Structure formats: structure tokens, C-alpha cells
Structure 1
Amino acid sequence: MTDLHKKVIHIVQGEHRISEQPDVVITTVLGSCVAACIFDPERGIGGMNHFLLPDPISGSGDIRYAAAAMETLINGLLRQGAMRSRMQAKLFGGARMMPSLPDIGRRNADAAQRILQNDGIRIVNGDLCGNEARRVRFWPTSGRVQVQLLGNEAPPLVEKPVRPQSGEVELF
């Protein structure tokens, strides 16, 4: 079956999808966000999440945050017959898109790795950090992943404005 005959499901920040259909591809675009692709190869089921931040400000269950997003995906897979002992994970994203800001991408990547380690889910592959956005395509029944680097799409740095000296006129 060619990719043209596949059902493509696009997810964004705070979403996840699970599928056991062989014609499904789950896709997302990541900058500093992280996506976990978790699958049970024996059961032929998998899912992907897309989270925005490593830690909520307060004890929020909001799935835009790492802990809630990972728990939601893992529990969803378990409810549909996956076994934790067979689950494998691939992690993507966590880029540092704006060098002048704190490295939230690294913190997202670290949070995802820590959660999977604590849950006893083996990380078998991935592509984390760096400074480039990524498009990720995930085939949930097989665990196959395709990653396309999109380059650093951060806005160009703006030169710091200089105040005109007395008597000068600045035209815009």
C-alpha cells in the first residue's frame, strides 16, 4: 500500500492519537515541543502525543504538559490492550528555537526521558534537541518513524534600536 492510500492524522500541542489500523499515519510538527511515539509491536498498536511544556505551574492535569501527556498516552494504550513490558518509545523534538530564551526544548526532552524511565518503558530511538524544527510521521502499528528537519524557523534576531542623537531625525 502506498503512502497515498494511508489515513493521515495530524496532531497539535496538547493532543494525542492512538491507532491499531495499519493504514494510519500520525503526524505533527515540532519546535521546542516533544512528541512521544509509543507502541507495542506484538499487539500492533501505538500512539503519539505532542506536549508543550515540561512542568505545570501548579498540579495541573493539562495534557499540554509532559507528565499529563505521557500518562494519557500510556494509559490509553494500556486500555486498548498494549502491555507496558512490551512498549517501546521513540522521542522527537525539544529543539532550542530561540537562543536568547531559556532552553525549554531541553527541559521537555529531559522530562519525557525521565517519565519513560520511571514507567519502565524502553526508549529505542529518537531525535531530540538541536536547533531545528521537525516534521514527524509515525506508523503506530509498526513503530516506523520518518523525521524531516525543517531548519531553524525562529524569527530573525532584531537589531537593538539605537536612539538618535540630539538634533537628528529618524525616518521610518
Structure 2
Amino acid sequence: MSCMSTAEPIFRRVSVIQGETRVSDDPQVVMSTILGSCIAACLYDPDVKAGGLNHFLLAEPGQGDTDPRSMQRYGVYAMEVLINAILAKGASRHRLRARIYGGAAMHDGFRDIGSANAAFARQFLRDERIALVGEDVGGKSARRVEFRAALGLARCRIVTDTMTPIPKPVRRPAPPPIGDVEFF
């Protein structure tokens, strides 16, 4: 008689924050990030079974922004870093498949950075001839993205505000006077 294990597989979670890029060929690695107007691109090569995720704030640097330490915030840099890191794992550019997430309009009345970020990501992928096979961009809500890079599996969920409202203080009436006391 054989004993079968019913244990869930153990995954190693890797958080990807703004300005970071992560690549893996380990099927147990789950990359995750939370996005507002930022974009995350998930790239995957199905033959090599390697992929990666980046998280960028803006499409391109503004005039005069030449500080190399800030370049990782920009899509033009983050996309190149992601592609090169996946190619270093043995991937081929013509087999890469992409999904993009994020690009929400988080604040009414402000410039729609999210829409510009999504447009940049689409154009970049077209220019590089990388197939865009899925996207969840726009809207007004933040997203949580999870990506199993070695398998090319992505999940995107809307982040809802789950904070409990702060209860309003209740005023209790003052107690009635018990007797008159006069202090000198």
C-alpha cells in the first residue's frame, strides 16, 4: 500500500517592487507585484520555460533626467533589462510572449499617467515584435499581479479597499448632579 501526500506544493514568493525586474526558470517561484498607474510586463518563452516580470513607474525619463540610479523607474529601461535577462536564460526573442497589467487612472483630475504607460508598453512590444497575448490595463483600481514565470501563468486581481471604517465616538450625556458642594 502506497502513501500519497496531500500536501500543497510549496511556492517561493518573490515580491517585485517599483523599479525592479525579476527572471526565473523555477516552476515553484511566484512573482508578485501591486500596481496603480504603473505597468508590469510579464514575458515568457514557452520552449525554454523561463520568464520574468518588471514594474515601471513612467514610460520614459523627462528632459534632463540623466541620473543612472533613477533609470530603473522607466519603461524604456525596464523592458530592455527584462528582455536581456530572459535571453540570458536561453530564451529566444521571437518566441517571447507578453502580458501587461496596471495603468490605472488612480486620481481624478491628474494627468492620466497609467494610460500613457500602457500605450508605451504596447508600442514597445510592437516595435520589438514580441507578441502581446493578454492585458488587463486601465480603469481606476489598483491590481495585484502574480506570475509563475517558468510556466507562463499569470493572475491579476483588482485590489479593493478593505480598511474597516473608524467608528465615530459616541458622546455620553453628563451625569446628573448629585448634590451641591461648595469649595472655598
TM tier relative to shorter chain: 0.7 to 0.9
Larger radius of gyration: 2
Determine which of 135, 157, 169 is the counterpart of 1:126.
Answer: 135
1:2 equivalent in alignment to 2:11: no
Question: SS at the partner of 2:73?
Answer: coil
5+ residue gaps, structure 2, are: 1-6, 163-184
Measure how far apart 1:146 and its partner are: 1.0
Instruction: Please say if residues 15 and 51 of structure 1, whose CA atoms lie closer than 8 Å, have aligned partners that are also in contact.
Output: yes
Question: SS at the partner of 2:99?
Answer: strand
Q: 2 CA distance for matches of 1:76 and 1:49? A: 11
Question: SS at the partner of 2:72?
Answer: coil
- Percent sequence identity is 40
Instruction: Please say if residues 133 and 152 of structure 1, whose CA atoms lie closer than 8 Å, have aligned partners that are also in contact.
Output: no
Q: 2 CA distance for matches of 1:27 and 1:151? A: 17
Aligned length: 152
Normalized per residue, the structure richer in strand is 1
Q: Which consecutive aligned stretches of 4+ in structure 1 deviate over 3 angstroms post-superposition?
A: 58-61
CA RMSD across the alignment: 1.6
1:77 equivalent in alignment to 2:86: yes
1:29 equivalent in alignment to 2:38: no
Aligned position for 2:109:
100
Aligned position for 2:51:
46
Q: 1 CA distance for matches of 2:89 and 2:122? A: 23
Aligned position for 1:55:
60
Measure how far apart 1:147 and its partner are: 1.0
Measure how far apart 1:152 and its partner are: 7.1
Question: SS at the partner of 1:21?
Answer: coil
Aligned position for 2:182:
none
TM-score, normalised relative to structure 1: 0.84
Measure how far apart 1:99 and its partner are: 1.3
Instruction: Please say if residues 89 and 123 of structure 1, whose CA atoms lie closer than 8 Å, have aligned partners that are also in contact.
Output: yes
Q: 1 CA distance for matches of 2:97 and 2:56? A: 18
Q: 2 CA distance for matches of 1:56 and 1:134? A: 24
Aligned position for 1:14:
19
Change (3 A) 1:152 1:52: farther
Question: SS at the partner of 1:142?
Answer: coil
CA deviation map 1:44-89 (0-9, x unaligned) = 0000000001110146460110100000000111122100110000
Q: 1 CA distance for matches of 2:99 and 2:123? A: 13
1:150 equivalent in alignment to 2:159: yes
Structure 2 residue identity aligned to 1:123? L
Aligned position for 1:158:
none
Measure how far apart 1:125 and its partner are: 0.5
Q: 2 CA distance for matches of 1:41 and 1:2? A: 25
